[in-house]
């Protein structure tokens, strides 16, 4: 049901921006929704679509990502890897940060008021207004730390 609601909202958003909500664009968004926790790159999305047996051009994936970002369905995530990943936007979603495993590359979304409180304190102290922020914490996830202990 949630996916149906998501697609109805996307159709409306696409129409609001003068775009058509085609089958290929729907398939791109479905891959993003199915693998939301992975913060996929455009190449990852393309490969998932190919694995599903869909004949879709990589340029179509790129253009769809640009449109999805423009209508604020997704946003770019820069994890300092030399390429862009994407994550789903939602109205309930506040700015969040990421925990990145330096061994397996997994990404965990971090929602914490502690960082917001710290930002407010710093801005107040320096009379500064933040327009954008991104904290990235690098380390090893529980799974990778467990693998080291097993050896």
Q: Is 144 annotated as a binding residue?
A: yes
- Is 116 annotated among the ligand-binding residues? yes
How far apart are alpha carbons 22 and 111 in whole angstroms? 33
Does 141 carry a binding-site annotation? Answer: yes
The DSSP 8-state label assigned to residue 52 in this structure reads T
**Which residue from 11, 48, 14 is spatially nearest to 28, judged by alpha carbons?**
48
Using a 10 angstrom Cβ sphere, with 0-12 exposed, 13-18 middle and 19 or more buried, the burial of residue 140 is: middle
User: CA angle at residue 143 from 142 to 149, to 5 degrees?
Assistant: 90
Task: Tell whether residue 104 is among the known ligand binding residues.
Answer: yes
123 is in an annotated binding site: no
Q: Please name the residue that has the structure tokens 């102290």.
A: 125
Binding annotation for Fe cation: 116
Binding annotation for Zn(2+): 101, 104, 141, 144
Binding annotation: 101, 104, 116, 141, 144
């Amino acid at each position: 049901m949630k996916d149906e609601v998501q697609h109805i909202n996307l159709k409306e958003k696409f129409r609001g921006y003068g775009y058509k909500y085609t089958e290929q664009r729907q398939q791109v968004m479905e891959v993003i929704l199915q693998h939301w926790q992975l913060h996929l790159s455009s190449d990852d999305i393309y490969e998932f679509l190919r694995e599903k047996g869909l004949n879709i051009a990589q340029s179509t994936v790129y253009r769809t990502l640009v449109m999805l970002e423009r209508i604020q369905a997704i946003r770019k995530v820069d994890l300092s890897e030399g390429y862009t990943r994407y994550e789903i936007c939602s109205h309930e979603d506040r700015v969040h940060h990421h925990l990145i495993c330096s061994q397996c590359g997994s990404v965990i979304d971090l929602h914490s008021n502690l960082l917001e409180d710290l930002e407010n304190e710093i801005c107040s102290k320096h009379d500064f207004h933040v327009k954008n922020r991104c904290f990235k914490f690098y380390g090893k996830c529980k799974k990778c730390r467990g693998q080291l202990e097993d050896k």
